[in-house]
Structure 1
Amino acid sequence: MDKNGQALQIGVMSGTHSSWKGDALVIGVYEGGEPQPALIHCGKKVESEVRKRLAEGWLRGALGESVLLVPPAGSGLAASRLLLLGMGKKESLNTESFRTLGGHLTQLCHKMRIAECTTLLSLDSHHKAKNKRQQIPVAEALAEGAWMGNYRFESYKSKESKKEEREEYPFKQLYLLVAGERLAAEKRRLTEVEAIARGVVLARDLANQPGNVLNPEGLAEQARQLAGRFPAIKTTVYSERMLARKGMQGILAVGSGSQSPPRLITMEYRKGGDRPLLAVVGKGITFDSGGISLKPGEGMGEMKFDMCGGAAVFGLLQAVAELSLPINLLGVVPAAENMPSGTAQRPGDVIRMAKGVTVEVLNTDAEGRLILADALYHASSFKPAVIIDLATLTGACAVALGAHASGLMGNDNSLLRQLEKAGEASGDRLWRLPMYSEYQEQIKSTVADIKNIGGRLAGAITAGCFLSRFVEEKQAWAHIDIAGTAYDMNSSRPHFPKGAAGVGVRLLSRFIQSHWL
C-alpha cells in the first residue's frame, strides 16, 4: 500500500523464534501486568526477562502503553529489541481492541524508529468474542488497524516536508505470527483486508482534498480514472444539460450558485451474472457554504468533508473491483458545490424534482437531501434489489450519536438488521432511529408537496423521511447518516488520523461479504 505515504507492508509467518524476522519483537501484556500466553514461544530466557520486568512494574498493560527492552544474551532471537505493548483488560478484548492495537503499534514503531517488526499479538488462538463462541479475527484486525493508522494525507506537502516526514516515519514491514495450520487461510484473508483498507485510503484521500481542487467535475474525473484502472467498472457522467433533460432540478438547484457546475456520476460494476443488483448512493457536496442560508464562518473549512458519502462509494467500488467479487453493484454520486451568489437558489423557492414531487426550499443549507432525492430516483431506474445511501446529512445526527456510531433508517427490517450486524463486525457501527408516520407530518408544506426541513426537533429523522419520499414503496432501502462519523479533526484514536475517516467502506464491504455473495 503506497498511496499518500502508505508504504507499510504486512505479511503473516510462522516457525520458531529463531526464524522470526524484524529488528523488534512485539509482545502483548494484559492490564495488570500479565503477559500474553504466546510468550512461551519466545524461549525461556526471553520469557524470564519479560516476566521479571513486569513483576518490577515496568508496564501495567493499559491499552497502548509500551516499554522497550533488550533481549537477554543467548535468547536466539533475531530482533535486537522487545516492545511490550499494553492490550488493556483481558475480559474486554474485542475485534475493535485489536484494530486499535494495530494503530498503536504503527505509531509506536514510527516513534521508536523501528523499520521492521514481528508481533506475537496474533499468535494466541484463545481470544473469544464477548458472549459468542467464535474467535476474534486477531490477525486481520491488527493488519486493518495498522494500515488505517499508517495513513497520512500529504498531497500538498512540499518535497522538503515530505523528505522530513519520511525520515520521521521509518516503519515499513510488519509480520504477524500465526499457527502454521492457519498460515494459508490468513494470507488469503489478509489480501481481502488490504483491498478494503485501500478502499478506505481512497475514500480518505478524496474527502481530504480541498474544495478548490476537488470540485464536482474533479470528482467526476476521479470516477473516470477509477474506470480506467478497473475495466469492470463502467462510468457515466451526467452534465448540466443531461441533468436538465432528466428533470433533476434538485441537483441543479443546489449547484446553481457555483461557477463549478454539478454532475451526476454513476459507476456500474457487473460481474454477478443474473444476481440481484445492489445500489449505493453517496452524497457528493464537494464544498458546502450553506448557500444563501450561510453557515457560520467558524469550522466552515471542514465543509470540504460534505462529500464523504460519495467518497465511500468510490472506496467501495475500488475494493470490490480489486477483489473481483462476483456481484452486481451500482454506485451513484450526485456532486455539487453549494455556494451563495446571484444565481443561487433562495429560501422560499419551490422546485420540481425528477420524480415529480415539488419541494419548498426553506433552508438552502439543507441541500444534501435535495441532491440525494434525485439520485435515489435515478438509482431506482436501474431496478436494484436494495438501495443504500450514505450522507453527511444532518448536524442533528452528529449531536445525537457523536463520532462513534452512524444513524440508520429505512423501510426493510431485514436489511437494517443485516447492516447493523455488518456495522458491529466492521467497526463502522450503526444505531437505528425510528421513522414513525408522525414524523412525516413535520415535512408537509403549505405551498408544495413537502418542504426540505422539518423544524428543530428530530432533524435527522425528518431528513430521512424526506428521502423516503423518493424511494418506491416496495423498494428495500436504507439511509445512513454519517455526519458525526465521517471525519474528526480532534481524533485520539490511533487508527483514525485527523481528517476524513473513510467511514462506510468497511461497513458495506462486510455487508457484501456476509449477505450479498
Structure 2
Amino acid sequence: MSALTLSTSSAATLRADAIVVGVAKGPKGPVVAPGAEAVDKAFDGKLAGVLETLGATGAEGESTKLPAPSGLKAPVVLAVGLGDAPAKDDSFGYEALRRAAGTAARALTGTKKAGFALPVEDAEAASAVAEGALLGAYSYRPGGNGSAKKDDKAAKSAPLAEIALLGAKPRDKAFKAAADRAVTVADEINKARDLVNMPPNDLDPKTFAAAAQTAGKEFGLKVEVLDEKALLKGGFGGIMGVGRGSDAPPRLVRIAYTHAKAEKTLAFVGKGITYDSGGISLKPAGHNETMKCDMAGAAAVFAAVVAAARLGLKVNVTGWLALAENMPSGSATRPGDVLKMYGGKTVEVLNTDAEGRLVLGDALARASEENPDAIVDVATLTGAMVLALGNRTFGIMANDDAFRTSLYEIAEEVGEQAWPMPLPAELRKAMDSPVADFANMGERMGGGLLAGIFLKEFVGEGITWAHLDIAGPAYHESAPFGYTPKGGTGSAIRTLVRLAEHTAAGDLG
C-alpha cells in the first residue's frame, strides 16, 4: 500500500512529483478550495481562471493537470473537483473530500510522490483525505505489488507510492490518530479487495482459511478452522450441503479479537462462497464471470476483525467466515434435497443457487450460541437487492428497528451508501415446505427481503441482529470513480469498523 506522511511543508516548498489541490463549483465558475492558497499565489491568484479556461468546473470526479509555475517545487499541479462549494462558514463534506482524494490518487498512477493540499480543517477531514487517497491508489497486482516486473510499463501502471498530507498538523495528537486510523482501515480494505479480486483457482475455502490463520498469528487473534470432517461431525448441514459438489471442501472459520477491558461483544458473519456456479441450478451464460466475488462478505468480516485488533478497540469482535465453493457434480446437492442445518432445523433446497443463505444459516446459529450483544451478517446475497437499490447501495435488514437505523446512520457517517429495508412477516409463509421446516426459496417478488427473513430463522432468541446485503456494491464492473476501483471494493468494511468503534465507546445503537 502507498505510504502516508503528514508533512509540515507548504504546497509551494514540498519536493514532490505533483501537488493536488481542490476546486469547487461556484455560482460564477470554479472556486479554489482552502489548502491551495500557496499554489494559487504561484499562479498570481489566477488559478481558478486558468482552470476555467481549460474546461474545469469543479464538478465531482473531475481532474485537471497543468504544469506548475516557477514558484512551486513540484512540476505538476493536479486540480480535482469537490462538487458544489459549501455555503459561507460551512465546510466540505467528508465524503466529498474522500472521493476527491481518491480521484487524485487514481489520476496520479505511475507517480512516485504527491502532496495533497486539500481542505483539512479538522482531524476527521484529514482522515477522509488520507483514506480516500490510500483507497484510490489501490491496484490489484497478481502475486502482490512486490512481484511486478521492473519495466517501464509496470512503472507507469504502479499506484501512487507516497502521499504527503499537507496542512494536517503532524504534531497534533488528534490529527496523528486520525491518520493512523485511516492507514489501518484502508490497508485492511485493500487486502479484502485483493481477496475478492483473486482468481477462484487461487482462492478456495482452504486457502482463505489459511489467510485467516496467518493474520491470526500476525495480530494476536484466536483462529479456529473447522474442516469438512469437523463440519460433518458437528452437523453443519448447510455449509456441507453447499460445498459437497466441489473438489475443494468447505470450511468454517472463527477468528476472534478480545480486549481485556471490553464490556460488549459483536459477532460478524460473512458469506464466503469462493466461487458460485449456481450448483445444479446452474447460472446462465453471462452470470458466471464475476462469481469469484461471492466471498466478499467473508472478506469484509475478516478485514473488520483485523482492523478492530490493529486499532486496539475496547470491544470483543468475533468473525465467522462461512466458506464453500458451489459447484455442480455427481455429489452436489440437488433441488428437492432436504438439509439438516446446524441446530436441527431442516431446509428443503428448491434452488441450489440460493446457497448463501444456507452457509450463513449454519454460521448464524453457531454464532448465536456465544450470545453476543449483536450479530451482523454481510453477504452478496441476492440479485433482487441489486434490482431494488442498484449497484452502489447495500440494503440493511434487522430484527430491531433501532439497530437498523443505527447501522444506516453509521454507513452514512463513513460514506457508504446504504438503505434500510423491511422484513415483512407475510413473506414467511411463501417458504413453507411439506417436507421440511421451510424451504430456501419463496415467492419471486421481494426476494431480497425473503432472504433476510430466512436468515432471521437462525438467529438466537433475544439477540439483536442485522443483515447487510452487499450484492450491488461489493464488485464494481464499470469504470473506476472516486476511490472505488474496478473489481472488489471492500464494501461494508468501514461500516463494520465504525460500529465496533461506537460499541467500544459505549454506544451500541
TM-score (norm 2): 0.91
Matched, 1:266 2:265: no
1:407 is matched by which residue type in structure 2?
G
2:99 aligned residue: 100
Matched, 1:141 2:128: yes
**Correspondence for 2:299:** 311
Q: Offset of 1:168 from its aligned partner?
A: 3.5
Relative to structure 1, the CA distance from residue 156 to residue 489 in structure 2 (aligned partners, 3 Å threshold; closer, same or farther) is farther
Preserved contact between residue 122 and residue 176 of structure 1 (Cα < 8 Å): no
Pick from 287, 291, 305 the counterpart of residue 299 of structure 1. Answer: 287
Matched, 1:89 2:84: yes
Specify which of 3, 12, 15 is matched with residue 9 of structure 1: 3
Amino acid of the structure 1 residue aligned with 2:23: V
Identify if the C-alpha distance between structure 1 residues 72 and 237 changes in structure 2 by more than 3 Å, giving closer, same or farther.
Answer: closer
Q: Which residue of 2 aligns with 1:151?
A: 138
Given the alignment, which residue of 465, 474, 477 partners 1:477? 465
Q: Which stretch shifts more, 454-463 or 492-501? A: 492-501
Distance 1:142 1:250 in 2: 43
Aligned to 1:290: 278
Q: How many residues align?
A: 496
- CA shift, 1:274, in A, is 5.0
* CA contact 1:49–1:72 (8 Å) conserved in 2: no
CA positional deviation for 1:47: 4.1
Distance 1:86 1:176, change over 3 A: same
Matching residue of 1:62: 59
Shift of 1:377: 0.6
- 1:198 equivalent to 2:200? Answer no
2:315–2:503 contact (8 Å) kept in structure 1: no
Residue 359 of structure 1 corresponds to which residue in structure 2?
347
- In structure 2, C-alpha distance between the alignment counterparts of 1:66 and 1:391, rounded to whole Å: 34
Q: Partners in 1 of 2:419 and 2:131 — Cα distance?
A: 23
- Match for 1:107: what amino acid? R
Tell me the residue number matched to 1:207: 196
Counterpart contact for 1:373–1:467, Cα < 8 Å: yes
Structure 1 vs Structure 2 CA RMSD: 2.3
Q: Distance in 1 between matches of 2:49 and 2:264?
A: 60
Structure 1 gaps of 5+ residues are 2-7, 126-134
Answer whether contact 2:346 2:438 (CA < 8 A) is retained. Answer: yes
In structure 2, the CA distance between the partners of 1:378 and 1:165, relative to structure 1 (3 Å rule), is same
1:24 alignment partner in structure 2: 18
Query: Match for residue 224 of structure 1?
Result: 213
2:455 paired residue number: 467
* Partner Cα distance (1:54, 1:206) in 2: 40
- 1:55-454 matches, within 5 Å, as 56=53, 59-73=56-70, 75=71, 77-91=72-86, 93-110=92-109, 114-123=111-120, 125=121, 137-156=124-143, 159-160=148-149, 164-169=153-158, 171-178=160-167, 180=169, 183-231=172-220, 233-273=221-261, 275-454=263-442
Aligned residues of 2:6 and 2:168 also touching (Cα < 8 A): no
Does structure 2 conserve the Cα–Cα contact (< 8 Å) formed by 1:283 and 1:391? yes
Q: Partners in 2 of 1:513 and 1:11 — Cα distance?
A: 24
Contact 1:94/1:136 (8 A) holds in 2: no
SS in 1 for 2:43: helix
Gaps of 5+ in 2: none
SS at match of 2:278: coil
How far apart in 2 are the matches of 1:179 and 1:170? 23
Task: Go from structure 1 to structure 2 and tell me whether the alpha carbon gap of 1:151 and 1:18 turns closer, same or farther (over 3 Å shift).
Answer: closer
User: Which residue type is aligned with residue 218 of structure 1?
Assistant: T
Render the CA deviation track for 1:310-347: whole Å, top value 9, x for unaligned.
01111112211222222211110111111111111111
- Offset of 1:64 from its aligned partner? 3.5
SS of structure 2 residue aligned to 1:474: coil
Q: How far apart, in 2, do the equivalents of 1:354 and 1:314 lie? A: 22
Quick check: 2:61–2:482 contact (8 Å CA) kept in 1? no
Q: Bigger shift: 294-303 or 463-472?
A: 294-303
Deviation of 1:180 after TM superposition, in Å, equals: 4.4
Percent identity of paired positions between Structure 1 and Structure 2:
38
- Where 1:502 maps in the other structure, the secondary structure is coil
CA 1:137–1:351: 2 relative to 1, 3 Å: same
SS of the aligned residue for 1:325 comes to coil
Calculate the TM-score normalised by the size of structure 1: 0.90
Aligned residue identity for 2:132 = G
Aligned equivalents of 1:25, 1:303: Cα separation in 2: 39
CA distance, structure 1, for counterparts of residue 227 and residue 17 of structure 2: 55
Shift in CA distance, 240/40, structure 1 to aligned 2, threshold 3 Å: closer
1:179 Cα shift?
5.9
Q: CA deviation at 1:236?
A: 0.5
Tell me the CA shift for residue 115 of structure 1.
Answer: 2.8
Local SS of the residue matching 1:118: strand
Hey, what's the Cα distance between the residues in 2 that align with 1:16 and 1:91? 24
